């Protein structure tokens, strides 16, 4: 099963980075290949916000929409994404925002996925792998813009 994991050290606080990643409706403005994102439901429970969202990703003539459940856990500085419906057999995505020296943050990003169709996996797999590698950079650039600071 394809997976990607990275840790990025950024010049923003864990709270700032959590807020930026949690603002899923803004993803089409800056995230590579994210063409649309619509939140279907939003519920608050015990300090956790649960979203169900549809994300449309595209590359050239290929377009796919998938639904996921997003658990925003500010007290834990964590975001967990679980697959609900779409072209995947499996998708799991985790974000962790750890405090670092001087008010900075280490972002732990993990994603693991498998397409239902081998053909779709072959067509989109390499593109997805490349996109996931660009995601961390895209979020860091977005944070620099939103919080008006340079990179670490």
Q: What pLDDT is attached to residue 37?
A: 97
Selected residue with higher pLDDT from 17 and 134 = 17
Q: What pLDDT is attached to residue 3?
A: 86
Total Cβ atoms within 10 A of residue 43: 9
Q: Residue 18 — φ and ψ, nearest 5°?
A: -60, -50
pLDDT digits (tens, 9 = 90+) for 91-144: 999 999 999 999 999 999 999 988 888 877 776 666 766 777 788 789 989 999
**Band of pLDDT at residue 149, cut at 50, 70 and 90:** low
Q: Residue 138 — φ and ψ, nearest 5°?
A: -65, -40
Provide the residue ranges of all domains of the chain, joining segments of one domain with +. Answer: 3-146
Can you tell me the distance from the alpha carbon of 17 to that of 67, in angstroms, rounded to the nearest whole number?
Answer: 23
Q: What percent of the chain has pLDDT over 90?
A: 66
Is the CA virtual torsion 29, 87, 66, 7 positive or negative? negative
Residue 151 predicted with pLDDT over 60: no
Q: Looking at residues 73-85, what average pLDDT do you find?
A: 97
Is the CA virtual torsion 90, 93, 39, 120 positive or negative? negative
Q: Looking at residues 28-34, what average pLDDT do you find?
A: 91
Total Cβ atoms within 10 A of residue 91: 19
CATH topology of domain 3-146: Alpha-D-Glucose-1,6-Bisphosphate; Chain A, domain 4 (3.30.530)
Q: Looking at residues 23-30, what average pLDDT do you find?
A: 96
Cα atoms in the 13 Å half-sphere on the side-chain side of 148: 0
Q: Looking at residues 77-97, what average pLDDT do you find?
A: 95
């Amino acid at each position: 099963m394809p997976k990607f994991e990275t840790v990025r050290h950024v010049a923003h606080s864990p709270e700032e980075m959590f807020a930026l990643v949690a603002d899923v409706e803004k993803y089409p403005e800056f995230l590579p290949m994210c063409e649309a994102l619509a939140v279907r439901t939003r519920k608050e429970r015990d300090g956790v916000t649960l979203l169900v969202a549809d994300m449309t990703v595209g590359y050239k003539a290929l377009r796919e929409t998938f639904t996921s459940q997003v658990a925003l856990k500010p007290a834990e500085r964590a975001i967990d994404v679980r697959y609900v419906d779409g072209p995947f057999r499996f998708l799991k995505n985790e974000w962790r925002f750890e405090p670092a020296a001087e008010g900075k943050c280490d972002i732990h990003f993990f994603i693991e996925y498998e397409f239902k169709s081998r053909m779709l996996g072959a067509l989109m797999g390499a593109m997805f792998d490349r996109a996931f590698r660009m995601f961390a950079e895209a979020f860091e650039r977005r944070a620099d813009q939103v919080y008006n600071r340079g990179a670490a």
